[in-house]
Every structure is written in C-alpha cells, then in structure tokens.
A and B are shown apart, each in its own frame.
Chain A
C-alpha cells in the first residue's frame, strides 16, 4: 500500500511540475515591454543611426541578412545569395511577400537600391526583378557582416519618413524622452510575442536600477557595479560581447610632449580598475579591437610599467608634467576611473586633473563602440572615431594587426578596457530564441515574451 501511495504521489508531483514547466516555457503573446536607457533618440532614421538609434533600429528595420548570436549571417529579407569567386559581385534574391509597415510590397526597386547605396558608399547596387546585385570596389568577403549591420531596407513615405519591414512599428516618438513600438502583425518572421515596447530615454543609471527593482521597468542598462548586485538579487543579466572600447583619447596636439602621453599610459594599473571599479566586467585592453573579435589583442601590452613612467615623467620639465583628463559628468563610473588614473599618474610623477566634461582638457575618457564584426572594417571605423580620416582598410588579418599597431603608436589613444553592454532584466521577461542582445549590442526583441505570472 505504502509504495502505491508513494508512487501515486510521485506521479502527481511529476504532472504538476510538467504543467508548471509547460506554462513557463511556452511563449505567450501580449504585454508591453518597458525598456529604459540613458541615451536619447531624436529620430529613427537608418541614414542617421547614432549609437542609441542603432539599438532601436532592428526593431523597425530589417537587413538583407541578419547576424546570429555566433556572428554568422542568416537569411533575412534576402533568402539566398551568391557571389563570384573573388567576392566582388554579389546577388541577393529577395524574400517574396514581405510588406513594409505602410502596406506596400517589398520589391527590388530603385528605392531599395538607393537605400543600400547610401549605407554602403562606393558600392554599386542595382535592382533586377526579385533580386539585388551589389558590385564591390574590391574583394569583400565580409560584405554579409556589413549588410547585417548597416544594410537596412526601407522606403520613404511622401513626407520623407522611413518605413521598415521590422517586427515592430514605430507608434510614437517623443524626441529624447519616449518611444513606443507596436507589434507588426504581418511580420514576415511571424508576429512578435510582445504587443508593444515602451522605451523611456534619458534615464540615469540609478533611476533605471530603482525602476527595475520596484517593477516599473523590464529591461534596463546596468553599470558594472550593478551587475554583481543584480546577480545577488537573482536578476537575469543580458550582455553583449565586450564591444565597447574604453580608452583615453588625446585631443589633437595635446599635450604637445608625447612623453606625457606615454608616461600616463604606462602608469595606469588596469588590473586594479578592472577588479574593483569594473567588478571584473569586460576585458583589460592593450589593443583597440577586442580579443574575441581580432584574436591578436594579447599582443599589445597592458600591464603598468611604473619605473619607465617615472623615468619619462622625470625627464619632463616640471611645468610639463601636468595634463587634464575629461570624463562624462553624468557617469559616476567614468569619474571613478578618471580619478584612479589621476592617482596612478601621481605615482609616476605626473599631475593629471580629472575634470568633468571639459572640452578644453588634454584628453578625454571615451567609450568607442566596436561597430563591425569584421576586424577589417571595425578598425577603420575606430580610427574614424579617433579622428583619423580615411584610415586605410586592410583585409588580411596580419595587415589589420599591423594597421592597429600603427594606430596605437600614433599616441592618440590609450586603450583601457573592452566592456560589454549589460542589461538587467525583470523576472517576467523571457526569450524564445536567445540571445536578445547581439554581440555588438543590437536589440532582438522579436523573440521576447512576458511571463504574466511573474514580476
């Protein structure tokens, strides 16, 4: 009798667990995802993406291909593609039956060709029937990665407003404050689970954390120090790859003596900052491109060399041993890092003033996003962000590495860390097919759904 009872109880328990697991694992439609971010977006236009806009762009606009979590290209608006042996001429066949948010049908017309030409300057894009032909100025094996990053397909209304084919429609945009996206019922990939996404902009890290804690937000940005706290509170954390370079960027010609820059670079104890201020988030950086992207980042030194830094500083005239380092006044972490750098510099005999957001400083603490999964493209993009116009693109890995070394030897930038983009997620947020955050930080919220039983 007793074994029978126990057996029955075990069966009932198993059934209950199965029911619960089924309810939790099966996606549900409906609900509004509340997202908060510090940056502000004035307009959502693929021709003017901006750092913040590039996150929201995938909600509304699709590319010909999309990059999956492992960085591999997958069909999107293009269902297939071919190229010649030297990767110069590409042909993409468009997905049939796709409609823009205004109801018009996606066809390979001149408007689409013009949109791609604008996104890929120097490339020749031609439309023919249900296909697009792209002719590259040079062999471009990484074209798919670039198309997955920049090649948004859109048409413009009579008023000039861009319309996409993405999983969400832009329902409202209050410049710099709030944006509301609603589900695209006719999305070619199937209707998104969420009914809508409400994005609040201009929220400070503290406000975002509080809103997450009190249940007023579902998805917020996290500072490194908050990641550990979120983990301690059993909050899920979504992260991108370490795709943001935190670096000291010297303004052109300041300070005039390059020994100051070198002494400063050699005095910084990156490990202490990484362990304490960054709570071990991200990676210590000696190079511009992250190790996961290039594979050769470890070749660039990042350990402090205080004796050499002191030697360099001692050789300077006393009046030349000073510099100023600006940081984002609204970012407490940036301030802490700048002050730590100042303290390290003092050990070397330099006086570095950490000043909030001062354009007249000698250098600034900058966050430079790595914009491409293709190192050959990512490096010129970083060079452009550092103020080098027309930095030559190299395609062979050894040439890209050499180019990066040349860039570092220019003395304009001191890489510090590669940081991921971290997001705190409320317990009710689920993902059908993770990750919801791309390696470069793009949002993929079409597969996100809300578990109504949890808060």
Chain B
C-alpha cells in the first residue's frame, strides 16, 4: 500500500468517523425531538377521542330522552296498562322511531319488561328484558345485545315514561360496529378498532375496524389481553411491516358494561408512518449530506496527500533510478518545508555520490589498468623468461659443435614456438574478454545445453579421475537464453570444477526449477573456498589457481548478467563448491 493511499485512507477514515458522529448525534437528537412532539400529538388526539366518545354517549342519551318525551311514548305508556293490554298496534313503533331518531337500537317495553316493540329485533315482541328495571336513567352505557345472527355491543341509554301508575321503558342506542367507528371524528393517520369481548379467549374475528374485520389481528392480541386481564388502559406499538413505516402506536381502553364487566376494548391507533417517513427523509438527507461531505473531503484529502506525497514519490523514483545506476537524477524542489529540504538534501546527496562515483571509477580504472598491467606483466613474463633463456642458450651454443648446436637449436626453437603459442593464447583470452558478443535470446531447454556441454569433457573426466553426475529435472521449463553462450559459460564452470579437484572427485551438474527462474547447479568435491575468495571470485583477473588469466568466472558472470540472470557460489573450505546460475524462464508465448 502506497504512502499516498495510506494517507488518503487515514484522512477518509477520520472524515467518515467525524461526519458519522456528527450525523448520528444530529439524527438522534432530531428523532427524539420528533418523537416527543408526536407523542404529545397522540396524547392530544386520544384526549380528543375520549371527549368525542363521551359526546356520543350524551348524544345517544339525548335522543332516547327525546323519544321518551314524545307523544307516541306517552300514548304507549297509557296503553300499556290494563289486565290484558293489546300491544299489537304498536309492534312497528320502535323501528319507525329508531329510524326517525337515527338509532340502531330501540326497544319499548312495558313495566314488567315485556318488549312491546323492538327495532333491532322486531320478532322479539312479548319477550322480557328483565335488565331494564335495574338499568336506571343514566347516560349511555355499554350493553351486550343479542341479535338474530350475532351478539353485538351497543351504547344504550334507558329512560322511563310514566303515565300515572303505568310505565314504559324506552331503551335505545347505537351499535358499536364499523359504521359507528366511521362516524367518530379522527384526525388523519389515526383509526379506531373495536374488540368485542364476547368470547372467553382472544378471537381475531371479534376485532373490527371501520372497514370491517381486521387482517392480521393477532398482532394486537397481547395488548388486548393486557386490557382484558387488568381492566386498565394500556398502550403498545405494533409493527405491521418490518420497516418503521409500518409501526402504529395503539392506546387501548377498556369498555365496561353497566355492571363493570368488560364488554369490549377500544383501540385508538396512531400511525407512525408520517413520523417514520420524516425520520427516513432526515436520515437520507443526513446520509446524502454526509456522503457528499465525505466525497468532498476525500477529494480534498486526495489533493492534499498528492501535494504531500508527490515530492516523496519523486524522491522514491529518483532513489530507484539511483539504485539503477543513474546517479545524475535530480528531483524538483517546490517548497522550503521539510519535504523541500529533503529534496534539496537528496539532490546534494546524488550530486556528491555522482562525484564520488566518478572519482571511484577513475580510481578503479587506474587500479584495473594496474592490475591488467600486473597480470599482463605476469602472464607475459612467464613465457618471456623461457624465451630469454632459450635465446641466451642459443647464443651460447653458437660455439658448440654443429651436432650439439643443432640439438640445442632444435630444442630451443621448439621451446620458443611453445612459448610464443602460449603468448598467443594469453592474448586470445584477453581478446575474447574484450569482444564478448550480445546474447541472442530464445527459448532454450537447459537440459539439452547441459548434456551438450558435458559431452566435450568425457575424456578429460577420465584422465582427471572425475566422476560426473548429471541430475536433470524432467519437466524443466524453457529458459530465455542464448544456448551458445550459456553452453560456453557452463563449460567454463565445469572446467573450473575439474581444476578444483586435482585428486579427482565427483562433479555434479543438475537442473531444477528455481523461484521464478530456471536453475543450473555445478558442484564439485574439491577443497572449497573461503568466504573472502567467494566474494572476489568473479572479479576479473582474480584466480586461486597457479595458472589461468582470472577471466573465466568474470566472463561467466558477464554472460549471465547479459541474460538478465544471476550467478552465485556457495562454498566452505574442505566442502567443495556449488555454482548456481538462475535464468529467466521463457514466456508462455515463446514456449508455445
């Protein structure tokens, strides 16, 4: 992960955390404020509903009062006396009066409770309503009413019409049904449900709203049960859908009958939809604002981090170039701050390094020339000394008899020719090192290269008492190499190994797959090398042998380096040495 990315992430994290914290605090505070306001509204509306319900009771009582005060009721009260009163003319009075006064229920009953006329169940004439005598003339109360096909709840008021010693009961009211609930004035977002407590246990079919039976009524069971068991108001929240929009707060009121028995539960529901939608809007606004803020902050952070890291990246790039050998790199300095001072220091460092390298190169070049001169002198001195001795022997043998002189001359010329050949060979080796050609890279099977290189040395292995061991990897990938140059480099290593085992030994050549490379290893069982020797082994003209130019391993390293590969040695005194060549594998396209 780059420094810029890390810096950007830190900035972003800090901004997100800050925005999130601020947003959460604002949202929670606002939400609580809204909920407080909403609860106050619900409380107000519930109070309003209570007043409306009480008003309806009074209204029912007034209507019944009007019926009781009408002439018809008085006539009926008068007619209800006598030993065998004939009620048949009045059997249809109650339906007509109920319709005229907008009541669902109306029963006219004689003093003994015998129903003279019934609006809700006209067929019930003659039956007795014993409860009437105990009802009293109060406001409307809740009453369970039997109907032909159902048992209903009704708000009933009772009035007594007296005509002398004769009495007529007028019991009228309204049915608590969806129609009644519809007539209740409620603000938007609120509704009223009625549970008729007509069964010993909760039954969903007994719960109705103003549009009829309520779907999924079982969700209100717990609240209704609470009211049923405690006969006290209760409230709770019901979630009709998984999200908050479907939440609804219910206030449940017990509806008690005349004898304080629980006949129903009235539930006033206040939908949380509006609040939830407001909260959702608030949340989305906060999220979008926060997201926009974060994006803006990230953009600014990106710009700022770019400003901070660009000089650092320039420095890093320059450092990489320095590492690659380009010491003349120069980073631009745009500021005078710490980064600017760092860039200035880097430029000064590269400048000094460059100067020091030039100096070092010159020094090394002089040293190289000296070493070359020394080696040349040494190499050339060896053949020159026999040549000089031979020539002096010839000069001294000039006075010898001809046959002896011939003998000396013949031996001397042979020696001279041999030493001249030796000089030529030395010169050719130096010439080869100078004229190292560029490799022609191609996919190469190193197993074949190894096999080809070792064939040359079969006779020499026998002479030197060296036992060759070849371990070739069966599925070796192709290498990206010049087979000719790799072959020569390998021959050089083999020759080197044979030289390292003057008493004979085991020469092991193996191929294997390295870490992202194709590897050749050449091991011997010779004396081995010291760490210092290992360090200097690939230096041109360095050799541990009594003969040779010291260019062999330098040439090998040059060849491997030209291939983009790497050569290393692992050795310890007395434990032989192992040379490893790692080459780049051929690309799949090349391999194909």
Contacts and interface: CB of A to CB of B under 8 A. Distances in A.
B101 interface: no
A227 to B, nearest CB: 11
B126 A353 contact: no
Given A276-B87, A353-B149, A225 B123 contact: no
A342 B92 contact: no
A332 to B, nearest CB: 9
B122 A339 contact: yes
Given A276-B88, A279-B88, A336 B122 contact: yes
A216 interface: no
Most buried by B among A228, A339, A340, A343: A343
B124 interface: yes
A450 B319 CA distance: 135
Contacts of B122: 336, 339
Given A272-B125, A272-B126, A336-B122, A343 B148 contact: yes
B127 interface: yes
A280 interface: yes
B125 A342 contact: no
Contacts of B127: 343
A275 interface: yes
A339 B148 contact: yes
Interface string B120-151: 01111111000000000000000000001100
Given A225-B92, A228-B89, A276-B91, A343 B149 contact: no
Contacts of A280: 88
Contact of B123 (A275, A279, A342, A353): A342
A354 B123 CA distance: 11
A226 to B, nearest CB: 11
Contacts of B148: 339, 342-343, 354
A277 interface: yes
A339 B123 contact: yes
Contacts of B88: 228, 275-277, 279-280
Interface string B87-122: 111011000000000000000000000000000011
A434 B389 CA distance: 190
Contacts of A275: 86, 88
A283 B92 CA distance: 21
Contacts of B86: 275
A334 to B, nearest CB: 12
B121 A276 contact: no
B125 A276 contact: yes
A156 B514 CA distance: 126
Contacts of B124: 343
A275 B87 CA distance: 9
Interface in A256-284: 269, 272, 275-277, 279-280
A211 to B, nearest CB: 20
Contacts of A225: 91-92
A393 to B, nearest CB: 39
A336 B122 CA distance: 7
A225 B93 CA distance: 12
A276 B149 contact: no
B110 to A, nearest CB: 13
Interface string A275-312: 11101100000000000000000000000000000000
Nearest to A340: B123
A354 B147 CA distance: 12
Given A276-B126, A353-B149, A354-B148, A343 B121 contact: yes
Interface residues of A, number: 16
Interface residues of B, number: 15
Contacts of A228: 88-89
Contacts of A272: 125-126
B76 to A, nearest CB: 14
Contacts of B125: 272, 276
Contacts of A353: 149
Interface string A336-375: 1001101100000000011000000000000000000000
A135 B87 CA distance: 56
B127 to A, nearest CB: 7
A230 to B, nearest CB: 13
B120 to A, nearest CB: 11
Contacts of B149: 353
A54 to B, nearest CB: 31
A114 to B, nearest CB: 51
Nearest to B86: A275
Nearest to A352: B148
Interface string B67-97: 0000000000000000000111101100000
A173 to B, nearest CB: 36
Contacts of A343: 121, 123-124, 127, 148
A340 B115 CA distance: 13
B121 A277 contact: no
A280 B89 CA distance: 11
Nearest to A272: B126
Contacts of A269: 126
A336 B123 contact: yes
A282 B122 CA distance: 21
A280 B92 CA distance: 15
A88 B148 CA distance: 56
A231 to B, nearest CB: 11
Interface string A88-105: 000000000000000000
A336 B127 CA distance: 15
A342 B91 CA distance: 18
Interface in A307-345: 336, 339-340, 342-343
B30 to A, nearest CB: 58
A307 to B, nearest CB: 18
A228 B87 CA distance: 13
B481 to A, nearest CB: 100
A381 to B, nearest CB: 31
A336 B124 CA distance: 10
Nearest to A341: B123
A143 B126 CA distance: 47
B112 to A, nearest CB: 16
B518 to A, nearest CB: 93
A343 B148 CA distance: 7
A288 B91 CA distance: 28
Contacts of B89: 228, 279
A272 B127 CA distance: 10
A206 B364 CA distance: 136
Nearest to B126: A272
Interface in B260-292: none
Contacts of B126: 269, 272, 276
B527 to A, nearest CB: 115
A339 B92 contact: no
A275 B126 CA distance: 11
A342 to B, nearest CB: 6
B286 to A, nearest CB: 61
Contacts of B87: 276
A339 B91 contact: no
Interface string A401-430: 000000000000000000000000000000
A358 B570 CA distance: 111
A339 B124 CA distance: 9
A369 to B, nearest CB: 25
A278 to B, nearest CB: 9
A321 to B, nearest CB: 16
Nearest to A351: B149
Interface of B: 86-89, 91-92, 121-127, 148-149
26 contacts: A225-B91, A225-B92, A228-B88, A269-B126, A272-B125, A272-B126, A275-B86, A276-B87, A276-B88, A276-B91, A279-B88, A336-B122, A336-B123, A339-B121, A339-B122, A339-B123, A339-B148, A342-B123, A342-B148, A343-B121, A343-B123, A343-B124, A343-B127, A343-B148, A353-B149, A354-B148
Given A276-B91, A336-B122, 4 more contacts: A275-B86, A276-B126, A277-B91, A343-B124
The 4 closest A-B pairs by CB, nearest first: A339-B123, A340-B123, A276-B88, A343-B123
